[in-house]
A and B are shown apart, each in its own frame.
Chain A
Amino acid sequence: MPLVGTLQLQGTVAATPAAGRAAVAGWVDGTPAPITGTVDRAAVDAYEADTLCVALRVVLGGVELPRDDVLGASFRSAIDEPIREATVRLGGIRYLPTATTDTWTRTPVEIYVGHGPPGAMTETLELRGTVETCRVSSEGIDATVEILCRDLGAIRDTELCLEVEPLAGLTRDELCRQLAAAAGYTETDIPAADVITGPVSVNQKLTSMLEVMGRAPGWSWTTTNDGVLRAYTPRLKAPPLPPDHVWTVHQLDEAPEQIPPEAVPSKWVLRGQTAVEVDEQGLETETTTSVVFEQYAPAVADAYQDAAGAITPLEISSRSSFQEVSRLVETVTRRGDLVVYQSSEEWGWYNPAHSRAKVQALGGGGELVPVPTYLSGGNHVTYRRERYQPISRRLQSNVYDGSGTVLSTRADTWSWYRREAAVQAADAPDLATGPAYPGAVIGDDNTSYDPAPNDAVEQWGHSQRETITYQYGAEGALQVERRVVEGYYAIKGAVTTGNHVNYSGNGQAEKEAQWRQVRGETRTSTTDTSGRLAAEIETESGFTASPNPSGTHSWGSFASDDKQESYRTVRQTRRLYKPLHNASYEVETYEAGRRSTQTYAGTLPVPRYRQSPWTRLRQVPVDLEYASEVLEEWFGPETRVLQEAGVQDAEQARAVLQRDLERAISYELPITRPATYAQLGDTVLYRDPQRHLVARALVTQRELEVTLNPPSFTGRYLLEAPLFESIT
C-alpha cells in the first residue's frame, strides 16, 4: 500500500566541498526508506565562502538604525546559560544615554547579520530581545556606544512562587511549562519527560528552577527569537552517527590551545530525592495490650440486704493472689499514615452500683420497697464479689477527604452508666398519693434512676457520643470546629404541674433521661491575610434555665420564668488577635460583657490547616556514589557532592553523574575561526593529527563577532572533547 505523508527533516548537513549532494535516511513504520534529494550548499556558503560579505542591521525600538551608525556586534551563548547576549557597537552622539533612553532601557531590539558570498547574501536574525544597558567610550567629539542586549529581557528576573502537590501526576515537561507560563512564556518546546513524584515548592528565579529541573534529562535551555522557551539536549554524537561538522586545524585562525582536565574529583556523590506515597491501599490494624499484674484481692460484699430490708453481715472471704488487675487494649487501624479507627478498652475489677430500694405501685400511688442486694463498705453493689470485666471502651473513627484532611471525628464511649428517672409527678402531694412512677430505683446517692436489669443502678452500654466536625475555608484554614456531645440526660424543670420530681427532690421535665444532644461547642475562626489567627468566636450551648427572682416557677434553689430547661447558648467568648510588633501579640477577650487583654510573646498563632498531602509522603533519598581509582591517582582524592532536587531515581542519577563526569574530564579547545553555522550542542569532529588530537567534541560556547570596518566575521567556539566514552 503506498504511503503518503509529509516529512520534515531537521538537522544540518556536513559541508562536502566536492558536491552539493547528501543523502538522508529515515524510517517509516519500521522499514528503512531511503530519501534522496539535493541539498543546497547555500546555507553553508553563507558562512564559509572564500569571499564573504558581511552586514549588520539593527532595529532598535522598531526603528531601523542608519547603516553607517552600526559599527559591529557580537553574540554570545552557552549550553549552561539559558540567556543569549549580544553587544552592538553604535557610533554617534545620538545614542548617548543623555540623548536617548533607547540604548539603556528595556527597548526591543532586533539584530540581523547579513552574510554570504557577493550576490548571494542571506540574513540571519541572530537576536531578538531587549536592551539591558550601555557603555560609552568617546573618541574626540564623537562617541561609540556599546549596548548590551539579552534575549530573555525583562522577564528573566521573574521570581516564581509555585507549589505542586506530590504525586499529582505532573510530568517534568508539564511542570516546566507551568513554570514558564508563570513567567510569561506562553509558547514552549519541551520534550516529554518523566512524572514528578515528589513535592515541588518553587521560590526562586525561573532560570535557576529550569536548571534544576533540566538536570535529570540533561536539558539545556534557550529561547528562540520568537519567544519560544526551548529545552534541548546537547549530547555528543557517538559513532556510527556522523558528526555535525568536521573541522581541521587548517580551517582555523590558529591552532587552538589544548586545556587538559584539571582537578577532577575522584569521588562523586549524587543526592536526589523522590517521594513515596505512604497511603497504601488496604487497612492495617495494630493492637497494643498493656496488662498489669499485682498481688490483689478482689473486694467482696460484707453484708446482704434482703427483700425486707434486713441487713445480714456476710463472712468475708477473699484471697489475695498475684493476678491481672488491669488490662488496656489499644487498637489502631490505619490506612497509610491516617488513623481510621482507634479503640481502647479498659478491663479491671469492678462491681457496679446497685439500688437500695425501688418504687412499687400502691393503689394510685407508690411505695418504696427495699431491693435484695449486696453491700460493700456501706454501698449497695450488684455482685457478691468484684468481677474482672470491661470498665470502659472508647471507639474513635475519623473521616478524611481525599487529600487526607480530617473532616470529622466520632468518639463513642461504652461504660457503666446511669439514667436518672423521676419517682412521682411534680404536683403529687406525696409518693403514696401519686401519681407515682413504679420501677424507678433509688441509689446510694439518694437519686432515683431508671432501673438497670435486676434493679441495678449502673448498666453497661453505649453512654456517650462525641462528634467533632471541621469546616475549612477556601484558603485551607480551619473555619468552624463544631463539637457535639450526646448522652443520656433528663431535662430539668421546675417543681410544678406537668413536671416530675426525682427522689433527690429536683424537678425533671421528663420522667426519665433520654438519649439526646447534651452539649455543643462551636468555634469559628477567621484568619488575616498572612494566614494567622485574627479572631475567634467560641459559642457553648447546653441545657439551662434563666434564673429570675420574680419568676413564676420555683426551681428549689431559685425562681425562673422557665418551666423547664431549654437547649440554648450558654456562653460566648470572642477573641481578637492583634499583632503588637514582631515579637509579641495581644489577645483581646470579650466574655459575658467583660473585656480583658493579655499580651503574649511570639507571633500570632496559626490555626489548623487542611492536611497537606505532603505530610503523607516519605522523602526517599536517591544516593549514588562513583569512585575512580584512576582519577584519584591523576588528580588526588577529592569528593564532589551534588545535591540534585530534580533527580528522582537511580537511573537518572547515573545519567546526571555520567554527563557531569564526562564534561569534567574533557579537553577544552577554545577555537577562533571564521564563523560557521555550528550551533550549541553540535558535535564537531576535530582533526589535528599533528598535535595528537582527532576527537569528537561538543560545542559548549559560541561567540560570533561581526565588525564592519575593517570587516570581519569571526566565530569563537569552546569545544569539549571527553576523554572517556563512558564511566560505567
Chain B
Amino acid sequence: MPPVIVSNVMLDLVEIFAAATSWQIDEVEQRTLRPLADGSVREVITAAEPGYPVVPRHRTFTFDYGDLESERDRIRLILSAPGRHTLILWLAEHLAWVGDGVRREFLLPNGWQQASDLTAAPTTSSIDTRTTLRHASPTGAPIPATTVDAATYAAGDPPSGEAWALERSSQIKVGDVPGAGAYLYGTVYPVYSVLRVPGAERKHDGPLADPYVLRLQE
C-alpha cells in the first residue's frame, strides 16, 4: 500500500484537513551530469558535509487547494507569521549515506527530525513510520532505528545489527560501521523545515470557494 497520506499534512504540527486537488514535490539536487563528446554522461556531485547523505537535495512543496474550506483561518494564520515552519507529510524519503570505515554516526539532511518523534502517526496509516536503515544494499535486511534519549545515545553504541535514532534530533547511530565506500540506505519519515515561498496570490472562485496554492521550500 502506497504511503500516501495526503489528508494528514501537518503544518507546524497542526493537522490541515483541507484536501488538496493536487500537490507536487520538486527536488533540487546538487548534482550535474556532464555530457561528453560521445553522448555519454558523467555525474558530478557537490560533496556533502561528512555524515550527511551523498546527494544533497532541497525540496519545494506545492499544494493546490481548490477550496480551503474550514481550514482557511488555520492555514492563513500559521503562515501569517514568518520564519521556519515544520511540515510533516507522513511521506517516506529515501536517502543514501556513504561509509568511510570509521563513521558510525550519520545525519538526516536539512535539519530533519523523525516525524514520529514529534507527533503520533495518523491512525489511518498501518505502516511503520520509524526510520529504517539497510546496510550495503537496498535489499538488505531492514534495521529499524530505535529512538533513544540523549543519555542513552551518548552512553554507548547500539549493538551489532541495530540502530539508534536520537530523540528529536537528526542524529542516527548504527551498530555496524559501514565499510569505506559502502552505502547505508535509509527510509525516513521526516519533519521538513520549510519557508513559505513569497508571493501573495488571492483568487476567489465565487463567494464560497477559497482556492489556495501553498508553496513551501526547504
A and B part of one assembly:
yes
Nearest A-chain residue to B99, judged by Cβ:
A119
Q: From known contacts A53-B45, A54-B44, A119-B98, infer whether A711 and B37 are also in contact, taking CB-CB under 8 Å.
A: no
A674 vs B44: C-alpha distance when bound (angstroms): 10
Q: How far is the CB of B47 from chain A (nearest CB, A)?
A: 4
- A251 part of interface (Cβ distance < 8 Å): yes
Say which residue of A52, A254, A708 sits within 8 Å of B30 (CB atoms).
A708
A198 vs B208: C-alpha distance when bound (angstroms): 100
- Please state if A118 and B30 are interface contacts (CB–CB under 8 Å): no
- Please state if B31 and A711 are interface contacts (CB–CB under 8 Å): yes
- A67 part of interface (Cβ distance < 8 Å): yes
Say which residue of A67, A118, A120 sits within 8 Å of B45 (CB atoms).
A118
Category for how many chain B residues contact A: 20 to 34
- Among A54, A120, A255, A711, the most chain B Cβ lie within 10 Å of the Cβ of A711
- A692 part of interface (Cβ distance < 8 Å): no
Q: How far is the CB of A281 from chain B (nearest CB, A)?
A: 68
Q: How far is the CB of B134 from chain A (nearest CB, A)?
A: 16
Say which residue of B32, B38, B182 sits within 8 Å of A710 (CB atoms).
B32
Nearest B-chain residue to A711, judged by Cβ:
B46
Write out the residue numbers on chain B whose beta carbons fall within 8 Å of the beta carbon of A160.
none
- Please state if B45 and A712 are interface contacts (CB–CB under 8 Å): no
Nearest B-chain residue to A115, judged by Cβ:
B47
A708 vs B30: C-alpha distance when bound (angstroms): 8
- Please state if B37 and A52 are interface contacts (CB–CB under 8 Å): no
- Please state if A708 and B46 are interface contacts (CB–CB under 8 Å): yes
- Please state if B181 and A53 are interface contacts (CB–CB under 8 Å): no
Write out the residue numbers on chain B whose beta carbons fall within 8 Å of the beta carbon of A51.
42-45
- A253 part of interface (Cβ distance < 8 Å): yes
- Please state if B34 and A53 are interface contacts (CB–CB under 8 Å): no
A243 vs B100: C-alpha distance when bound (angstroms): 34
- Please state if B36 and A53 are interface contacts (CB–CB under 8 Å): no
Give 1 or 0 for each of A53-76: 1 = CB within 8 Å of chain B CB. Answer: 111000000000001000000000
- A181 part of interface (Cβ distance < 8 Å): no
- Among B31, B46, B99, the most chain A Cβ lie within 10 Å of the Cβ of B46
Q: How far is the CB of A600 from chain B (nearest CB, A)?
A: 76
Q: How far is the CB of B204 from chain A (nearest CB, A)?
A: 33
Nearest B-chain residue to A52, judged by Cβ:
B44
Write out the residue numbers on chain A whose beta carbons fall within 8 Å of the beta carbon of B32.
710-712
A712 vs B33: C-alpha distance when bound (angstroms): 9
Give the contacts of B28-59 with A (CB-CB under 8 A).
Answer: 30-32, 34-38, 40, 42-49, 54
- Please state if B34 and A712 are interface contacts (CB–CB under 8 Å): yes
- A121 part of interface (Cβ distance < 8 Å): yes
What's the dominant secondary structure at chain A's contact region? mixed
Say which residue of B38, B42, B98, B181 sits within 8 Å of A52 (CB atoms).
B42
- A153 part of interface (Cβ distance < 8 Å): no
Please give the number of chain A residues whose Cβ is less than 8 angstroms from any Cβ of chain B in the complex: 27
- B180 part of interface (Cβ distance < 8 Å): yes
Write out the residue numbers on chain B whose beta carbons fall within 8 Å of the beta carbon of A598.
none
Q: How far is the CB of A36 from chain B (nearest CB, A)?
A: 26
A53 vs B45: C-alpha distance when bound (angstroms): 5
Say which residue of B37, B43, B46, B100 sits within 8 Å of A119 (CB atoms).
B100
- A98 part of interface (Cβ distance < 8 Å): no
Say which residue of B40, B46, B180 sits within 8 Å of A250 (CB atoms).
B40
Say which residue of A55, A253, A255, A674 sits within 8 Å of B46 (CB atoms).
A55
- Please state if A251 and B37 are interface contacts (CB–CB under 8 Å): yes
Q: How far is the CB of B35 from chain A (nearest CB, A)?
A: 7
- Please state if A253 and B37 are interface contacts (CB–CB under 8 Å): yes
- Please state if B98 and A251 are interface contacts (CB–CB under 8 Å): no
Nearest A-chain residue to B100, judged by Cβ:
A119
- A401 part of interface (Cβ distance < 8 Å): no
Write out the residue numbers on chain B whose beta carbons fall within 8 Å of the beta carbon of A253.
34-37
- Please state if B182 and A114 are interface contacts (CB–CB under 8 Å): no
- A249 part of interface (Cβ distance < 8 Å): yes
Nearest B-chain residue to A121, judged by Cβ:
B47
Write out the residue numbers on chain B whose beta carbons fall within 8 Å of the beta carbon of A52.
42-45
Write out the residue numbers on chain A whose beta carbons fall within 8 Å of the beta carbon of B44.
51-54, 674, 711-713
Write out the residue numbers on chain B whose beta carbons fall within 8 Å of the beta carbon of A710.
30-32, 46
Q: From known contacts A253-B36, A255-B37, infer whether A711 and B30 are also in contact, taking CB-CB under 8 Å.
A: yes
A691 vs B37: C-alpha distance when bound (angstroms): 13
Write out the residue numbers on chain B whose beta carbons fall within 8 Å of the beta carbon of A633.
none
Write out the residue numbers on chain A whose beta carbons fall within 8 Å of the beta carbon of B36.
250-253, 674
A710 vs B36: C-alpha distance when bound (angstroms): 17
Q: How far is the CB of A249 from chain B (nearest CB, A)?
A: 5
Say which residue of A67, A254, A674 sits within 8 Å of B49 (CB atoms).
A67
Nearest B-chain residue to A707, judged by Cβ:
B46
Give the contacts of B73-120 with A (CB-CB under 8 A).
Answer: 98-100
- Please state if A254 and B45 are interface contacts (CB–CB under 8 Å): no
Give 1 or 0 for each of B10-37: 1 = CB within 8 Å of chain A CB. Answer: 0000000000000000000011101111
A241 vs B65: C-alpha distance when bound (angstroms): 70
Nearest B-chain residue to A255, judged by Cβ:
B37
Q: How far is the CB of A717 from chain B (nearest CB, A)?
A: 15
A252 vs B38: C-alpha distance when bound (angstroms): 8
A577 vs B104: C-alpha distance when bound (angstroms): 85
Q: How far is the CB of A684 from chain B (nearest CB, A)?
A: 16
Say which residue of A54, A250, A255, A712 sits within 8 Å of B47 (CB atoms).
A54
Give 1 or 0 for each of A107-130: 1 = CB within 8 Å of chain B CB. Answer: 000000010011111000000000
- A709 part of interface (Cβ distance < 8 Å): yes
Q: How far is the CB of A46 from chain B (nearest CB, A)?
A: 12
A633 vs B43: C-alpha distance when bound (angstroms): 49
A55 vs B49: C-alpha distance when bound (angstroms): 9
Nearest A-chain residue to B48, judged by Cβ:
A53
- A163 part of interface (Cβ distance < 8 Å): no
Q: How far is the CB of A676 from chain B (nearest CB, A)?
A: 12
Write out the residue numbers on chain A whose beta carbons fall within 8 Å of the beta carbon of B54.
53, 118
- A50 part of interface (Cβ distance < 8 Å): yes
Write out the residue numbers on chain B whose beta carbons fall within 8 Å of the beta carbon of A250.
36-38, 40
- Please state if A119 and B181 are interface contacts (CB–CB under 8 Å): yes
- Please state if B46 and A53 are interface contacts (CB–CB under 8 Å): yes
Q: From known contacts A53-B47, A119-B182, infer whether A254 and B42 are also in contact, taking CB-CB under 8 Å.
A: no
B residues adjacent to A (C-beta < 8 A)? 30-32, 34-38, 40, 42-49, 54, 98-100, 180-183
Q: With A54-B45, A119-B183, A711-B32 given, name 10 new contacts (CB 8 A).
A: A50-B42, A51-B43, A54-B44, A55-B46, A55-B47, A67-B49, A118-B183, A253-B34, A253-B35, A710-B31
A residues adjacent to B (C-beta < 8 A)? 50-55, 67, 114, 117-121, 249-255, 674, 708-713
Nearest first, the 3 A-B pairs at minimum CB distance are A250-B38, A55-B47, A119-B181
**What are 10 A-to-B residue pairs whose CB atoms are below 8 Å?**
A51-B44, A53-B46, A54-B46, A55-B46, A118-B54, A119-B98, A119-B183, A708-B46, A711-B31, A712-B34
